[in-house]
Structure 1
Amino acid sequence: MNLLEIFLELLIVVIAVVSLVANLLVLVCFTCSAQVRAQVPGIFIMNLSFCNILITVLNMPSTLFGVVKRQKPFGDHFCQTVSFMDTFLTTNTMLSMAALSIDRWIAVVFPLTYSSKMRLKNAALMVSYAWLHSLAFSLAAVLLSWVDYSPAYASCTVHLGDDDGSRGHFIVFTTVFHACTFALSLFILCFTYLKVLLVARFHCKRIDVITVQTLMLLVDIHPSVKQRCLLEQKKRRRRATKKICIFIGSFVLCFAPYVITRLTELTPSVKIDRYWGIISKCLVYSKAASDPFVYSLLRQQYKKALFELFNRILGRDSYTLSGHSSPSDMENECCSQRVNKLKENCH
């Protein structure tokens, strides 16, 4: 066993531990917080975290076994089940991310009709479609006997045997599968989030103009406070761009290498290097570990839910974070309140 294999084994273990803990925290927040449950995106995040947990407890250990033992884990039936779940869960997670981007697009671009367009019933229908879409491709791969252990990825996944004469059909299936999952989800993410970014920048420009005009009227506050308010406006624009880059960039970084590799191996003359195959699979697994931080745990509602949960476990009384605000934070808050009041008066 060389150092690279040891590194890959440790990498899978670390990804699995982080993914399991982080996604369980998301489910705990959803269970304990009525505010999180009341929000429509919580349905998509719940489905995404559930799929990530199943990937962690089923697929990651089997890949770890394949890396260590270099053989099929626990027999044919178990490997076929893991292969089915691999296709089903990976497809479901991609479509869940696409559903989240559609939700954000409607919320930002059509804010007045968001409550009527994105009800809990509509969110449940979108999740149901994701399940049916994933189930269709997974069952097709099982019925066509294209599920087995792949040495190139050390995983039980969609795989065509060397003596299988249906290579043409397998090429068509693989191409359509990735076009309807990865390519479709990536298109939806790019379209919706770029629309969100354009609308957000347009509103930021309007807010900046109003903020500058109103701050010029606020002669009774310190100039440093005015400067901080203007800097905060610039930070908001950067945060919007940064978040969208993270949403799209993490999706491409984690899934694109694996999808491109799977499409490349359809050429008979191409043989995938084992280490690269495992690394590309680890990138897919890393998405399960990063999703809780990208979509939920770093948001204020989830932080508040975790904070209240920890206080409940420790037997402490809940208290708000505002009680620990610094003087500068209070000045910024007062500045924001004044600006908002002036905006309301202008309208």
Structure 2
Amino acid sequence: MNLWETLLELIIAAIAVASLLSNVLVLLCFASSAEIRAQVPGVFVLNLSFCNILAATVTMPSTMLGVARGGKPFGDLYCWILSFADTFLTTNTMLSMAALSIDRWVAVVFPLTYSSKMRYTRAFAMLGYTWLHSLAFALTPVLLSWADYSPTYASCTIVRPDHSHPAHIPFTVFTALLHGASFALSLTVLCLAYLKVLQVARFHCKRIDVVTVQTLLLLVDIHPSVKERCLLEQKKRRQRATKKICVFIGSFVLCFSPYVITRLTELVPSVRINRHWGTVSKCLVYSKAAMDPFVYSLLRQQYRKALIGMTNRILGRNAYSSSGHSSSSDTDNECNLQHVG
């Protein structure tokens, strides 16, 4: 085993541990907080964490073993199961992020009717679609014998047939459909939804700025430093909104696009993917499982409040007072610019 393979093993192990611990914290927050459980977006976050935990305990360890052994870590049956899990969890994760973006778009664009538009029945219907969608694309390669161990990615996944094989063309069509209906679809939904959220957030910021400036002009005796601080805070709020949208979309593109582009590139007969790059692109996909809890939940006020409450109970301290810390739905009420702005 060379230094490169050892480093890859350590990276995968670190990602798996970080993913498992952070996503378990999300589940604990969900279980301990009635406030989080009562909110519709918690369903999407719960599904996302569930997929990430399975990835951390099933697919990531198998890839680490594939790197360590330099070949298929288990038998054919288990490899088929791992291939199914790999495709299902990756697709389900992407679609769950798209569902979260739709929820926040509805919360911002239709704040007054959000509770009637995003009920639990609709949330479960959206999750039902993500599961059926993921199951269909995960089962197809297993049934068509396209699932096997790939040395390029050091994992059991969808494997390209030989270019002279009659199944090469159907495989090419399936691969294009898979990534088009998962990555491309989810990215399009994320961009459209969050850019609309940003547009509405900036509109509200601008409206607040006009009111604030008019108020400051009326208060002619106010100290100039106070006026400057108010205007500076409004500017920071607009910047925070932009940064958060960039994190949502940027982390998705950074983690998934190298792997998707690599899988599409290898469809070209003359292209041979370097196995080191293939494994690295797979690690980038895994890293999203470690990022998601912080991007979508743990850094938010309600989850921090739940974590503090759990810590206090473990340490035997008084419950964390919720007065002055009440907040709206887990959509973070971005229309009020509290978590988007």
Report the TM-score, using the length of structure 2 for normalisation: 0.91
Equivalent residue for 2:128?
Answer: 128
- CA shift for structure 1 position 212: 1.7
Quote the residue 1:169 is aligned against.
170
Q: Which residue of 1 aligns with 2:240?
A: 239
Distance 1:321 1:222 in 2: 34
Q: After superposition, give the CA deviation of every residue in 1:222-262 in whole Å (9 maximum; x if it has no partner).
A: 54444322222111100100000000000000000000000
The equivalent of 2:334 in structure 1 is none
Point out the structure with max Rg over C-alpha: 1
Return the letter of the residue paired with 1:40: V
Q: Deviations over 1:182-215 (max 9, x none)?
A: 0000000011111111111111000011112223
**Aligned AA (2:51):** C
**Residue 267 of structure 1 aligns with which residue?**
268
What is the alpha-carbon distance in structure 1 between the residues aligned to residue 273 and residue 58 of structure 2?
A: 24
In the alignment, what sits opposite 1:42?
42
| Corresponding residue for residue 110 of structure 1 | 110
- Report percent identity of matched pairs: 71
CA shift, 1:3, in A, is 2.2
Q: Distance in 2 between matches of 1:300 and 1:226?
A: 28
Residues 266-310 of structure 1: per-residue CA shift (max 9 Å, x gap): 111111100000000000000000000000000000000000110
1:141 is matched with 141
The question of whether the paired residues in 1 share the 8 Å contact of 2:15 and 2:286 is answered with yes
Per the TM alignment, residue 221 of structure 1 is displaced from its structure 2 partner at its CA by 5.9
Q: Which has the higher helix share?
A: 1
1:112 positional shift? 1.6
Alignment of 1:288-307 (within 5 A): 288-307=289-308
Separation (CA, whole Å) in 2 of partners of 1:221 and 1:82: 66
Does 2:179 match 1:182? no
Show the counterpart of 2:33. 33
Amino acid across the alignment from 1:4 = W
Rounded Cα–Cα distance in structure 1 between residues aligned with 2:107 and 2:149: 43
**Does the 8 A contact of 2:161 with 2:171 survive in 1?**
no
* CA apart distance, 1:171: 0.3
Cα deviations across residues 17-73 of structure 1 (Å, max 9, x unaligned)?
A: 110000000000011001111111111000000000001100000000000101111
Stretch deviating more after TM superposition (5-14 or 150-159): 5-14
Alpha-carbon distance between aligned partners in 2 of 1:96 and 1:273, rounded to the nearest angstrom: 31
SS in 2 for 1:112: coil
Q: What is the root-mean-square deviation of aligned Cα atoms in Å?
A: 1.6
Number of residues of Structure 1 aligned to a counterpart in Structure 2 = 323
SS in 1 for 2:113: helix
- The 3 A distance-change label for structure 1 pair 223 and 313 is farther
Q: Give distance in 2, aligned partners of 1:214 and 1:73.
A: 68
The residue matched to 2:73 in structure 1 has which SS?
coil
Give the deviation of 1:322 after TM superposition: 8.5
* Distance of 1:139 and 1:309 partners within structure 2: 40
| SS of equivalent to 1:111 | coil
CA distance in 2: counterparts of 1:169 and 1:298, whole angstroms: 44
Letter in 2 for 1:129: Y
Determine the C-alpha separation between the residues in 1 that align with 2:300 and 2:219. Answer: 32
Contact 2:161 2:168 in 1 (8 A): no
Aligned-pair distance for 1:180?
Answer: 0.4
The reply to whether residue 194 of structure 1 matches residue 221 of structure 2 is no
Amino acid at match of 1:233: Q
Shift of 1:161: 4.0
Opposite residue 60 of structure 2, the aligned amino acid is: M
Closer, same or farther: CA 38–244 of 1 in aligned 2, 3 Å: same
Q: Describe the shift of the 1:146–1:22 C-alpha distance in structure 2 as closer, same or farther (beyond 3 A).
A: same
- Partner Cα distance (2:233, 2:39) in 1: 27
Task: Give TM-score, length-normalised by structure 1.
Answer: 0.90
Letter in 2 for 1:252: V
Residue 7 of structure 1: how far off its partner (Å)? 1.5
Unaligned runs of 5+ in 2: 325-341
Report the equivalent of 2:217: 216
2:4 is the counterpart of 1:4 = yes
Q: Is the 8 A contact 2:259 2:285 kept in 1?
A: yes
Residue type of the partner of 2:42?
G
Q: Which residue of structure 1 aligns with residue 66 of structure 2?
A: 66
Q: Could you say if the C-alpha distance between residues 220 and 308 of structure 1 is closer, same or farther in structure 2, counting changes exceeding 3 Å?
A: farther
Deviation at 1:321, TM superposition (A): 8.7
